Amino acid sequence: MKRILQISNYLYPNIGGIEQVARDIANAIASEGSYEQKIICFNENASDGDYVCRRNETAYDLVDGIEVVRCGCVTKQFSQSLSLSFGRELKKIMFNFRPDIVVFHYPNPFEAFFLTNYLDLNFKFVLYWHLDIVKQKLLGKLFNNQTIKLLERADRVIATSPLYIEGSVYLSKYKNKCTVIPNCINQTRLTINEDIENMSKQIRNRYRNRIICFGVGRHVPYKGFKYLVEAAKYLDDRFIVFIAGIGDETENLKELAKHDSKVIFLGKVSDGDLLSYYLSMDIFCFPSITKNEAFGIALAEGMYFGKPAITFNIPGSGVNYVNLDGVTGIECQNCNYKAYASAIKKLADDAAIRQKMGNAARQRILDNFTADRFKRNIQSLIDCL
C-alpha cells in the first residue's frame, strides 16, 4: 500500500481555498482505498462541532478518517505562520511514515524550508501551485532559490488553470511538468432545501422589481470590492447590491458606500443564507483584481446557480478561465468601475441574455468544475506517478 503525505498550511475546521483543496485531494485518494495518508499543517484557532483547534498547540487528530498533525504556532509574519514544532514533526513523518508520494501546497516558504532537507529522499513529489507570491514582492525574491529548487525536484506541478501557467513567471518555464487540475465546487454543500427556498422567496418579494446583484468574499484589497462599491454609484435605484463577507477592508468599504442606499453589507453569512442569496440574485459580481485570485471557488459557485458573472480581466489568473467573456458572463477592463457598472446595466436591460449566459455558466461548472471531475483528475495523476 502506497503512502501519501500532504503538506498544507492549515486544514478543516480552518476554511479557505487551500484547506479545501487539501481535503478534497485526501477524499479523492481515500475513495480508491489503496493508499495510506497523512497530512501535516499548522494549527490555527478554529472550531466546528467536535473540532476545537488552538493555534499554540501541537495536536494529532483525524479529519475524514485521515491522520492530521497540526503544528502549534508562535506568531505570524507576512501572513506566514511560524512554528517551533513543524521541523520536528515533519522529520518524524519523513523517516517513520516514509511517504511514497509527497504533495506540497505552494506557497508556504516556512514549511518549504524544512521540506528541502528531504528532497533527496526517494519519493514522488507533486507541487500543487495555488498562486505566485504576488503581494509580498520582497518575500518572493527572498525565496526565489527555494522556489526553483522545488520546481526542479517536482515530478508533476499542478496548476488550477492553463491561464495561470502562461501568466506565471515560474510555471511558464516548467510547462513540461505542469498538469491542469481545476478546483471544484462542493455540490453537496450547495444543496437547496425548503428553508433556503423560503428565504430566497422572502428576499425576492422584499426587493421585487429590483435587479439583485450579489458578491461574496473576504474584504481584502485583492478581492476588489471597492470597485463594486464605486460601480454601484453609477447604477440607478432599480438595482440592489448585496455584499457578503468581512475583513480588514469592511469599515473602509462601508465608509465608501455610506451615501448609497443601494449597497447593503450582509456581514459573515451562514451557508444557508449564502445559498439563499445565490438563489435570489440576478447577477453575480466577482470583482477580484489581482493574481492572488488564482481561480475563484465563489465564482464557480455563483455560476453554478445559473446566473451570469461579471469579472475583471486579470492577466494570468484562472478567473478568466472560469468565466468566459460573452459566453458565461462579461469581463471588464481591470479596475474600471465605470465599465463594471455598464456591464451590470447591460445584463439588467436584457433578460434573454441573462438567461442565456446564466444557463451557459451553470453548464460550464457542471462540465468542468465538479467534485467528481476533480476526483477523477487527482486519481489519474496519482495513479501515474
Confirm whether 214 is domain-assigned. yes
Report the alpha-carbon distance of residue 315 to residue 234 in Å, rounded: 26
- Our CA angle for 320, 222, 260, nearest 5°, is 100
- Tell me the pLDDT band of 332, cut-offs 50, 70 and 90: very high
pLDDT of residue 47: 83
Query: Is pLDDT above 60 for 69?
Result: yes
From CA 319, how far away is CA 312, in angstroms rounded?
8
Residue 268 lies in a domain: yes
Assess if residue 106 is contained within a domain.
yes
Same domain, 176 and 288: no
Residue-by-residue DSSP string for 183-238: ----TTTT---HHHHHHHHHHHHHTTTSEEEEEES--SGGG-HHHHHHHHTTS-TT
Do 218 and 174 lie in one domain? The reply is: no
What strands, in cross-sheet order, belong to the sheet with 329-332?
263-267, 239-244, 211-216, 283-286, 309-312, 329-332
Long-range contacts of 63-67 (CB under 8 A, 24+ apart): 63/11, 63/12, 63/23, 63/26, 63/39, 64/23, 64/26, 64/27, 64/30, 65/30, 66/26, 66/30, 66/37, 66/38, 66/39, 67/37, 67/38, 67/39
The verdict on residue 189 lying in a domain is no
**pLDDT score recorded for residue 135:** 59
Using 50, 70 and 90 to split pLDDT, how confident is the model at 358? very high
* Three cell numbers written together for 214: 450579489
Decide if 76 is inside a domain: yes
Dihedral class, residue 316 (left if φ above 0, else alpha if ψ from -120 to 50, else beta): left
Asked whether residue 376 carries a pLDDT value surpassing 80, the answer given is yes
Inform me whether the pLDDT recorded for 305 exceeds 60: yes
Same domain membership, residue 342 and residue 359: yes
- Is residue 218 located within the same domain as residue 175? no
CATH code for the domain of 379: 3.40.50.2000
**At 381, which amino acid appears?**
L
Q: Are residues 316 and 223 in the same domain?
A: yes
Q: Domain check: are 376 and 291 in the same one?
A: no
| Residues 25 and 371: beta-carbon distance below 8 Å | no
The 3-state DSSP class for residue 179 equals strand
pLDDT value, residue 198:
97
How far, CA to CA in Å, does 333 sit from each of 90, 95, 241, 314, 369? 45, 51, 20, 9, 25
Q: What percentage of residues in the chain have a pLDDT greater than 90?
A: 81
The pTM of this model reads 0.86
348: Cβ contacts below 8 Å, ≥ 6 apart? 211, 238, 239, 282, 283, 354
Query: What pLDDT does 24 receive?
Result: 92
Q: How do residues 94-124 score in pLDDT, each as one tens digit? A: 999 999 999 999 999 999 999 999 999 999 9
Q: Are residues 286 and 343 in the same domain?
A: yes
Give yes or no: residues 254 and 333 share one domain.
yes
306 and 363 co-located in one domain: yes
Strands 263-267 and 101-106 turn out to be unpaired
DSSP state of 324: P
> Mapping DSSP to helix (H, G, I), strand (E, B) and coil, where does residue 156 land?
strand
The domain total for the chain is: 2
139 pLDDT band (50/70/90 cuts)? low
Is 60 in contact with 89 (CB distance < 8 Å)?
A: no
Average pLDDT over residues 349-358: 97
Cell numbers describing residue 81: 505562520
In-domain check, residue 103: yes
3-state helix vs strand vs coil in the chain, percent to 5: 40, 20, 35
Longest dimension (CA), the chain: 64
Same domain? For 175 and 264 the reply is: no
Domain hosting 105: range is 2-184+370-384
Same domain, 147 and 160: yes
What is the band of 138 on the pLDDT scale with cuts at 50, 70, 90?
A: low
State residue 294's pLDDT score.
Answer: 87
The β-bridge relationship of strands 66-71 and 51-53 is unpaired
Residues 146 and 257 in one domain: no
Cα separation of 144 and 142, whole Å?
6
